[in-house]
Copies of this chain bind each other. A is one copy, B any other.
Amino acid sequence: MSYKGLDLEQDAAALTAQLVDFPSESGSEKPLADAVEAALRDLPHLRVDRYGNNVVARTDLGRAERVILAGHIDTVPAADNVPSRLDDDGVLWGCGTSDMKSGVAVQLRVAATVPAPLRDLTFVFYDNEEVDASLNGLGHLAAAHPDWLAGDFAVLLEPSSGQVEGGCQGTLRVLLRTEGTRAHSARGWLGVNAIHAAEPVLARLAAYEPRRRVIDGLEYREGLNAVRVEGGVAGNVIPDECVVTVNFRYAPDRSPEEALAHVREVFAGCGVAELTVADSSPGALPGLAHPAAAAFVAAVGGEPKPKYGWTDVSRFSALGVPAVNYGPGDPNLAHKRDEHVRTETVLHCEAALRDWLTG
């Protein structure tokens, strides 16, 4: 399939429509990566690098600070909602309108229209964000070319309804296994019931008082929850195993190691035979105290909020780059058949970033 080249002369709303009409489901990003690369190479003020289907473009003006504008170019599979459709109310409908081709359009417009920013700029376009973390293009870039991602502050243009969302929570999932001894339930006294043994685990969860922590003025609410419980062999057998899966969402002032130590402490002495880490992803500090970040917040306006959930900002955080989410899409519409975006929000976002970068 071939698509005409991207037209960076049109505004970010029109460009969003062109990007949506250029399908790029995860794993099939190459044509769009090619088009993005070609459009950027037409801009003489940018150095363009490519790694796989990830494209990085940088100014090199010797400014005191460097900021990064990043976004993923893949989408979830379309749901009969491509090509895009602009309705009479200025709402653009289609797969990726919110998550996050509107953000990518804003990146491309800033790249094309701000040749001499106050801060050096790095534009990152990456693939495979919507699928398994091991495929994530930003992760691949961070591993292969961390120097391409150097900077003082990063803005990830994920959908945030045009509001600044600072940092992100960390997430840790552990399996808490209790043990027992099988027996026929007609002779239950010969066994030890592993489901009954899970009672203290649930009691700790039910009694847990989650912490609230203010960082850079943002309040992070933690949470410790059972997200799964499984036990049982057959309807007439005392079960010898029960597993409670617990998800700890924690404020980014804890490291993953500290989060795990906390979870171990919470469940200490309640008869857990084995605690296994299923997965762990660090949080990201909002970094709003950084001058570039403060200037950004002042320029785009609104009240920054903490990000609940895990996003790729934490990949920047792991590289030592404070990062926020700020994008025109609506996060509640992501991955939905009726996904859409308000074109005025896209234009507002484009203008706000340009203001920040041109003073």
- Nearest chain B residue, comparing its CB with the CB of A307: B186
Cβ B233 vs Cβ A227 within 8 A = yes
Given A199-B203, A206-B199, verify A193-B229 contact (CB < 8 Å): no
Q: Which of A225-239 contact B (CB under 8 A)?
A: 225-239
Cβ B198 vs Cβ A169 within 8 A = no
Is A41 interfacial (CB 8 A cutoff)? no
Cβ A249 vs Cβ B188 within 8 A = yes
Is A173 interfacial (CB 8 A cutoff)? yes
Given A206-B196, A206-B199, A236-B247, verify A185-B227 contact (CB < 8 Å): yes
Cβ A173 vs Cβ B229 within 8 A = no
Cβ B223 vs Cβ A186 within 8 A = yes
Given A229-B230, A239-B227, A308-B186, verify A202-B195 contact (CB < 8 Å): yes
Cβ A188 vs Cβ B225 within 8 A = yes
Residues of the B chain whose Cβ atoms lie less than 8 Å from the Cβ of A202: 195-196, 198-199, 202
A sample of 29 inter-chain contacts (CB < 8 A) reads: A169-B186, A171-B185, A184-B308, A186-B223, A186-B249, A186-B309, A186-B310, A187-B308, A188-B225, A188-B249, A189-B210, A195-B202, A195-B205, A195-B226, A196-B202, A196-B225, A196-B226, A198-B202, A199-B199, A199-B203, A199-B206, A203-B203, A227-B233, A227-B237, A227-B239, A229-B231, A230-B230, A235-B245, A235-B247
Q: Which residues of A contact B (CB under 8 A)?
A: 169, 171, 173, 184-189, 193, 195-199, 202-203, 205-206, 210, 221, 223-239, 242, 244-245, 247, 249, 278-279, 308-310
Nearest 5 interchain pairs by C-beta: A228-B232, A188-B223, A199-B202, A195-B226, A186-B309
